[in-house]
Amino acid sequence: MRVVRIIDGTTVDGPGFRTSIYFAGCTHHCTDCHNPETWSPQSGEDMSLEYILERIIENDFDVTFSGGDPLYQIGDLIALAWRIKAMGKTIWCYTGYTYEQICDNAELRPILDVVDVLVDGPFEKENADSGLLFRGSSNQRLIDVRHSTRNDVVLWTSEF
């Protein structure tokens, strides 16, 4: 997998302490993107599934996929996600795709079987709001994937 960085113990990419994995590759190219260095699929370095899992085990935190757009590496991402779920960890995933686009895409749809919360939609500068919890713009949704269907999206709510 092509990974730009792994952040151990972050609290900004979902609830509690998390291991956040920033994947390389994104063509959404959102204006004022927080991580434009992740756009190139050649950015970062190759990391094995086993190396990433070792970091997650060492940290013993829940996991967040970010980037770039992690869905640009969908095959490897799904394999990694299933291994993380087998550890009993929750998974949050940030993507520029909308939930509906993922539901309608046969290649991307399987990620919904393993992700707990999907933060969907591109960052939109005109909707930027630094007061939002775990997202940068108001068009982005925190979707409780376990309780959502294609026609009935359920938003994740914080216990804070």
Mean pLDDT for back-to-back runs of 10 residues, the chain (160 residues): 97 96 91 83 96 97 96 97 98 97 97 98 94 94 96 86
How much is the pLDDT for 38? 84
**Segments making up each domain of the chain, as ranges:** 2-147
CATH superfamily of 2-147: Aldolase class I (3.20.20.70)
What sign results for the dihedral spanned by CA atoms 37, 42, 45, 49? positive
CA 32 to chain centre: 18
Residues comprising the chain, all counted: 160
pTM listed for this prediction: 0.94
How much is the pLDDT for 159? 65
HEC secondary structure over the chain? CEEEEEEEEECCCCCCCEEEEEECCCCCCCCCCCCHHHCCCCCCEECCHHHHHHHHHHHCCEEEEEECCHHHHHHHHHHHHHHHHHCCCCEEEECCCCHHHHHCCCCCHHHHHCCCEEEECCCCHHHECCCCCCCCECCCEEEEHHHCECCECCECCCCC
